[in-house]
């Protein structure tokens, strides 16, 4: 069965809190956008089986605000300040029994991974954007080498 990957850039964060980069929380716009994007995912009728999330505060708050009800969540330190190769390694290490997964992380690596996997030049994933890719393989290990299709690219300012 082809694999489905959801790439999510964390929602808009607050730069004016005096917190470290890792501890920056969502700002008001991020707090508004993430639940809306979570509802859009639910309305589409297809949810990931597993979520890999950066442990940075803004990514965790994005995950919580999406409110997808997914119990299989792994927080991976590697996602914070990841390179594209780091993210690809995480995707390729997913167990093949999982048919769909979501990765919640940070730019620029998220945008670069989306471009690498889909073959479509993505200029930039806005905050709280969700990009859905179908890998034309039954194996996560093939990600990056097998053909993939960009199924959907949604973000808060793109009105349904």
Is position 96 within any domain? yes
The pair of structure tokens assigned to 147 is: 């053909």
- Kind of pairing between the strands at 3-9 and 130-135: antiparallel
Which residues on neighbouring strands pair with residue 73, listed in sequence order?
A: 51
User: Which of 83, 51, 56 minimizes the C-alpha distance to 67?
Assistant: 51
Range of the domain at 143: 3-154
Position 46 scores a pLDDT of 87
Is position 160 within any domain? no
Predicted TM-score of the model (pTM): 0.95
DSSP SS3 for 77? helix
Is position 110 within any domain? yes
Total structural domains in the chain? 1
- Kind of pairing between the strands at 100-105 and 3-9: parallel
Per-residue pLDDT of the chain (160 residues; tens, 9 = 90+): 899 999 999 999 998 888 899 999 999 999 999 999 999 999 998 899 999 999 999 999 999 999 999 999 999 999 999 999 999 999 999 999 999 999 999 999 999 999 999 999 999 999 999 999 999 999 999 999 888 999 999 999 987 6
Which residues on neighbouring strands pair with residue 117, listed in sequence order?
A: none
Is position 128 within any domain? yes
Is position 86 within any domain? yes
> Does residue 75 contact residue 53 with C-beta atoms inside 8 Å?
yes
Is position 71 within any domain? yes
Cα 86–Cα 147–Cα 128 angle in degrees, nearest 5? 50
**145 contacts: CB under 8 Å, gap ≥ 6:** none
Position 160 scores a pLDDT of 62
Is position 47 within any domain? yes
Residue carrying the six token digits 């979570």: 38
CATH value at residue 86:
3.40.50.1240
Residue carrying the six token digits 């999510």: 8
Which residues on neighbouring strands pair with residue 152, listed in sequence order?
A: 132
Is position 159 within any domain? no
Position 53 scores a pLDDT of 98
């Amino acid at each position: 069965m082809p694999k489905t990957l959801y790439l999510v850039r964390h929602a808009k964060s607050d730069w004016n809190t005096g917190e470290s980069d890792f501890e920056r929380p969502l700002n008001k716009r991020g707090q508004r956008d993430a639940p809306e994007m979570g509802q859009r995912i639910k309305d589409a009728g297809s949810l990931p089986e597993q979520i890999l999330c950066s442990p940075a505060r803004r990514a965790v708050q994005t995950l919580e605000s999406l409110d997808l009800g997914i119990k299989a969540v792994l927080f991976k330190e590697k996602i914070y300040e990841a390179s594209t190769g780091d993210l690809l390694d995480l995707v390729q290490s997913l167990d093949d029994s999982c048919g769909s997964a979501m990765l919640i992380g940070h730019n620029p690596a998220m945008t670069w991974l989306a471009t690498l996997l889909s073959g479509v030049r993505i200029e930039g994933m806005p905050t709280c954007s969700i990009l859905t890719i179908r890998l034309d393989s039954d194996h996560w290990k093939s990600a990056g080498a097998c053909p993939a299709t960009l199924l959907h690219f949604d973000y808060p300012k793109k009105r349904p």
